[in-house]
Structures are given as C-alpha cells and as structure tokens.
Amino acid sequence: MHGYQAADFECVDFSVAFTDAIDRNLAQHLAKGRFQEDLTFAYWHPSRGASRYTAILHRLALPDADGDRLLQGNVAFTAGYLERVLSQRPADCGVALLHSHLGPGWQAMSEDDVIAERDRLAGLVASTANLPLVGLTWGTDGTWSARFWLRRGRHQYERQWASTVRAVGRRLRVSYQPELRPAPPSPQSQAATISVWGESTQQDLARTRVGVVGLGSVGSIVAEALSRTGVQHVALIDHDLIEVRNLDRTLGAYPEDAECKISKVLVSKRLVDRSHTAASFMAEPVIDSLLGGDGLAHALDCDLLISCVDRPWPRHALNTIAYAHLIPVVDGGILARVSEGGKLVHVDWRIHTVGPDRACLYCIDALRRSDVALDRDGTLDDPEYIKGLSAAERERYGRRNVFAFSLSVAAHQVLHAVALVAGNERVGGTGPQTYHAYPGTMEVSARQECGAECDVAPLTATACSVLG
Amino acid sequence: MLVDDFELHASAAGLVVGRLTVSDQTYLHLKGIRIVGGTHDGKECEVAILRTTESPWVPQAAVHVRPHLVTMGQACSQASPVGTDWQYLSRRFDKAPSPRGFLAHIFTVLAEL
C-alpha cells in the first residue's frame, strides 16, 4: 500500500528545507576533498501549503565510520545501512538520501545516481514510509539540488525536481533549480538598487517568495517596497476590508475603496501590480485570515513572511511557523502612549526577525501567552473587559498609530528581510531592534536564542500542525 | 508544551484527569484537587481547563472551578460556560510554559483565594 497518490502532487511546487545547523553538519560530513564523494540518509517531515510541498529535514541518520558505505571516489550505501535507516525511521517521517558531488552549483544526476534512487530506493521507501523518497545532492560551493520520486505505477517512479532548497538560520540561503527558478534579468529600473547590494543579492531577493500577512498601515507599505525593490512573487494575506478610518494610514487606499468596502488585499494588489520593477511579477491575493485554512496554506508556500498584524493570536501562529516550518518571520509593532488629555507622551516601535538560530517572539518579550489566549477567546474585542483593565494595559491594547510610525516600521521590516536573504547584518542590524522616538535612539537586543524553558524552539523542523 | 504533555503530567502527578464537552468545546477535567493554602485550605474541588490543540499550547487565561469558591464577580470571577455550578476565574499565565509550571499555576490560583 502506498499512502500517497501521484495525483496528490499535480501542479505542486516541491521544496526541501533544513536548518543552518543541519546544513553545517552535512557540509562537515560530505566534504571529503577533491576526489571523494560521500552520502548519508536523513528523516523528514512533510509541510504542505496551498501549492508547495516541502520536505523538512528533521534529523540526520549519519553512517557509522565503517561498513555503512563503499567509498571508491564515488560512493554507495550498503544494504545493512539502509535496513537500519528504515527500521529506525520515526513515525510519520519520510526518508531522504543525500550525497555529494565534486563540482559546484545545482547538480544533475548521473546514471548511477538515478539507479540508486529510482531503482534501489524509491519503491522501498515509498512502501515503508508512505511518503516519496527525497534525493539531494551537495555541490562543492554549498549549493543543494533536490528531487522527489513519485510513484506513477507498479515499479514506476518519476523524478520531480524541487524548485528550491532552503537552509534557514541567521541567513536564509536558497538554492534555486535553474530551469524552474532561473535568475531574473537586471532591468534598468533596478540599477540603483543593484548598485547598493549587488546583482547576486538582487537575484536571490527577486526569487524569494515573500508573504505579507496583514495589509493595513504597515503591510500596505511593505508590499509596495517589496514590489519596487524587485521581488517577483508576493503573497498578500488579509481578510479585512478598507474602511474610512483606514484612509489616513493605508497606502493606495482611496475614499471610494472605503465606500465600496474593497478588500485590503485587492487595494494593495492594485498598487503593486503597477509599481513593481521585476520583469515577471505576481502578487497573489489571499482574502483570508492567516487563521483561516486558505490564509495559513498560502503562508506555508512562502520562503519568508512579514508579519504586519497586531493581533496576538495570528502572531502566535506566525511564531510557530517560523520554527516548525522553517519560514522566517519578520515582525514589528508600535506602542504609542497618549495622555488622558489626548497628547502624545511617547512612542516606541520594534522590529525583529524570528526563526531558527534566533530568539522567538515570546523569548524577546514581543508577545505574551495570556494575550494570545485572550485574543483567541475574543476577549480583546469585549469593550467591558477592556474597560476593566488598568490604564497601562488599555494602552497596550489601544493599537494607536499614525502613517509616519508605520513608514518607519515597514522600512525596517523590509531591511530585516533583505538582510536575511543577503546574509548581511549591515543592512538589517545584529538583532531585535527597539526604537524610542524620544530621545531618538535605536536599541539592539543581544538576545539571539530562546530560553531553556521555551516551548517554541523545540518545535523546530517538526512541521507540526500550527492551529491544531 | 502541548496540551497532551500537560494531560500526561497531570495524570502522572496523581490527579484524575477526564474530559468534558460543552457546546463544542472540550475541557480537561481535573478531579479531586485538594486546595493547599488560602481561605479554602484543605477543601477539595474540581478544575476544568479549556483543551485546545495549537502548537505550542496556549492555556486559556482562566481556570474553571467547581464548586464556586468566591462570591460571583469578586476576585475576577464570572459565570463559567462549563455550567452553572462552575465558576470562571480569570487568571493570566505568562510563566515558563511547562506542564509542571502550569499545574503549579492552577494550585497557586486556588491557594490565593
């Protein structure tokens, strides 16, 4: 019996993801000099989005020093090693075979590679794990290539190349399949941008699939910045409609949009469809909450998410996605304090990136569990409850904001996103940032890791269900 | 912490753990809890905790108790959706998210009444 059908994967974009820690471990194991390849097996969890299927490597099953493989320039695994890997497979995990080649870049497969994966392994793995075999090849420059072997009939397995392989840590490093995700041209309209961070960074940035969650005051600006910067594929996720009260803070929104109750997503799409500088551009409208099935599924299609929501419950979900599904999240928030007389007393805003090798929203005190619980219950929408809170707490839930604050937060969120893709802290800073409008200082937190008791970091690479 | 982790821990700690379903909501039902400290020191009560299945688990900012332990409306109490003989005690939980920590939170809430 095979628990999957090839039909389940029609029109699916395949990807593989793992943490930077696993990537480093693999590089150490696979780099055997100029004349020797090597291999290992690994276990993976499936992460399924609306159109992308990702194998998230959870754990390596490294070979023993001797006896598990035959090293003669090229490399082969022994039957004993394979038997051990299959028998020790954790429940609900798939199996991947990873091996090295002796050249750089995205690797094609030799006839021996195909025989090993398609003829020796694909059927055995499919019947044992009820999941397709995943094969990966490591190039000497650290580029990964990957494919899935799908059962098409009795003893028939067909290769589907992954379009991307993502290594996620302090940096988001993505290897692109050159035909499925070719490097885009550098149009004249991006000349100034490329002159700052270079063509290579621009090509990586352009091909990064970015999801903007929340298309309000901050999100509408973020979407515009991404499109002008040259990002080719942006998913716009929000369930809300434009109202008159949004017009002082939402880029691209007009009174007639409020009158006609146009979706925030469609307002933003209208804007970025005209302003983008990429030769090929797609703004994918997702008129749903992140907490709805469609919103969450489209978020899981992205390489990087920018959180422009201020509600605790969706931010909790984004925090989990960042670790469990290896999709880093750039988050931000604004706290404006106003006196009882209605005068601005102080304003702070903060920007941070969460995901593997970084502290989560709880550990940097950007989110409180009890707020998440109250938001989930609907309590934060209960005026009676809010009325009974202390002045400080009421302020925290006040969500006061003006366009200029949003501009600043959006700018820094985009810079964090660029830094993550470019691997350049000189763009986005070294850690979580808090800006105090008075006296006008930006603080950078030294905290880089979750605390020992955090229950989010242990979910890393588990691809667990986010909402249950 | 997952809700299953807490359920297992509460059982391992010697509590009788069941489930209640009320209006499509499921609650963990902890029976025979002896209050240690406070005005109800030594009394036995039952506790219900909303069971949700997100990862990681975020406990509701409330502990439901039977019988009523305070005059309704006082000490951040209100009517509980679990039933009229239950009382909703509104309490935030922002400490270390471990099963042990959350069980300690429940006992602390009861001891502080």
pLDDT tens figures, B24-74: 999 999 999 999 999 999 999 999 999 999 999 999 999 999 999 999 999
The count of C-alpha atoms lying within 13 angstroms of the C-alpha of A6, restricted to the half-sphere facing its C-beta, is: 12
CATH of the domain at A367: 3.40.50.720
Tell me if A464 is assigned to some domain.
Answer: no
Does residue A157 sit within a domain?
A: yes
pLDDT of residue A448: 87
- B2-26 pLDDT tens trace: 999 999 999 999 999 999 999 999 9
Does one domain contain both A209 and A347? yes
What is the gyration radius of the CA atoms in chain B, in angstroms?
Answer: 13
Residue with tokens 């969706």: A314
Answer yes or no: do A260 and A152 share one domain.
no
| CA A63, chain centre distance (Å) | 30
Based on the fold, state whether residues A143 and A260 are members of the same structural domain.
no
**Is B61's CB within 8 Å of A316's CB?**
no
**Residue that is last in its domain, among A129, A149, A176:** A176
Do A14 and A52 meet the contact criterion of CB atoms below 8 Å apart?
A: yes
Question: Contact B59/A453, CB-based, under 8 Å?
Answer: no
On whether residue A349 sits in a domain, the answer given is yes
Which pLDDT belongs to residue A1? 39
Question: Does any domain span residue A182?
Answer: no
pLDDT at B97 > cutoff 60: yes
CA distance A236 to A287: 8
For chain A, positions 232-251, list CB contacts with chain B under 8 A. Answer: none
CA A81 to chain centre: 33
Question: How many beta-carbon contacts under 8 Å exist across A and B?
Answer: 57
Instruction: DSSP for A305-327, please give it.
Output: EEE----HHHHHHHHHHHHHS--
Residue A3 confidence (pLDDT): 61
Cis before B56 (ω within 30): yes
ipTM reported for the complex surpasses 0.90: yes
Q: Please indicate, yes or no, whether residues A160 and A206 belong to a single structural domain of this protein.
A: no
Domain boundary residue, one of A176, A196, A228: A176
Res A315: pLDDT: 98
pLDDT at A447: 87
**Nearest 5°: CA angle at A87, between A83 and A93?**
115
CA contacts within 13 A on the Cβ side of A129 = 31
pLDDT tens-place string over residues A265-301: 999 999 999 999 999 999 999 999 999 999 999 999 9
Contact A377 B56 (CB under 8 A): no
User: Domain range for residue A209?
Assistant: 188-459
Co-location of A130 and A267 in the same domain: no
User: In this complex, do B96 and A373 lie within 8 Å of one another by their Cβ atoms?
Assistant: no
Q: Does the beta carbon of B24 lie under 8 angstroms from any beta carbon of chain A? A: no
pLDDT value, residue A213: 98
**Whether residue A131 sits in one domain with residue A40:** yes
A467 in any annotated domain: no
The token pair at A92 is: 């609900």
> How many domains would you assign to chain A?
2
| Angle of CA points A289, A291, A297, to nearest 5° | 85
Say which of A370, A379, A464 has its CB closest to residue B94: A370
A317 and B54 within 8 Å at the Cβ level: the answer is yes
Instruction: List, in order, residues 6 or more apart from A4 with CB less than 8 Å away.
Output: A126, A130, A131, A132, A150, A151
A152 contacts A6 by C-beta, under 8 angstroms: yes
Q: Do A197 and A219 fall within a single domain?
A: yes
Same domain, residue pair A158 and A201: no
For residues A141 and A272, state if they share a domain. no
Contact assessment for residue A294 and residue A280, using Cβ atoms and an 8 Å cutoff = no
Looking at the structure, tell me whether residues A314 and A382 fall in a common domain. yes
For residues B30 and B13, the answer to whether their CB atoms sit within 8 Å is no
Q: Is A390 on the interface with B (CB under 8 A)?
A: no
The distance of B20 to chain A (nearest Cα, Å) reads 18
In angstroms, the separation between the Cα of residue A359 and the nearest Cα of chain B is 15
**A146 and A31 co-located in one domain:** yes
**Is there a domain that residue A1 lies in?**
no
Contacts of B53 in chain A (CB under 8 A): 465, 467-468
Strand partners, B70: none
Task: List Cβ neighbours of A144 (8 Å cut-off, separation of 6 or more).
Answer: A16, A136, A137, A138, A165, A167, A175
Residue in A closest to B5 by C-alpha: A455
- pLDDT number for residue A37: 94
Which portions of chain A are predicted below pLDDT 70? 1-3
Taking contacts as CB-CB distances below 8 angstroms, the residues of chain A near B56 are 320, 455-456, 459
A396 touches chain B (CB under 8 A): no
Q: Does A453 touch chain B (CB under 8 A)?
A: yes
> CB A369 to CB B53 under 8 A?
no
| Same domain flag for A152 and A276 | no
The last residue of one of the domains, among A154, A176, A198, is A176
In a domain, A468, yes or no: no
Looking at this protein, which amino acid is placed at residue B48?
A
Q: CATH number of the domain that A66 lies in?
A: 3.40.140
Tallying the residues shown for chain B, one arrives at 113
Environment class of residue A212 by beta-carbon count within 10 Å: exposed (0-12), middle (13-18) or buried (19+)?
A: buried
User: Which residue is it, tokens 């003829």?
Assistant: A119
String of DSSP letters for A141-204: TS-EEEEEEEEEETTEEEEEE-SEEEEESSSEEEEE-TTTSPPPP--GGGHHHHHHHHHHHHHH
Residue A228 lies in a domain: yes
**What does the alpha-carbon distance between residue A270 and residue A410 come to, in Å, rounded to a whole number?**
19
Cα-based distances in Å from A128 to A87, A174, A186: 9, 30, 46
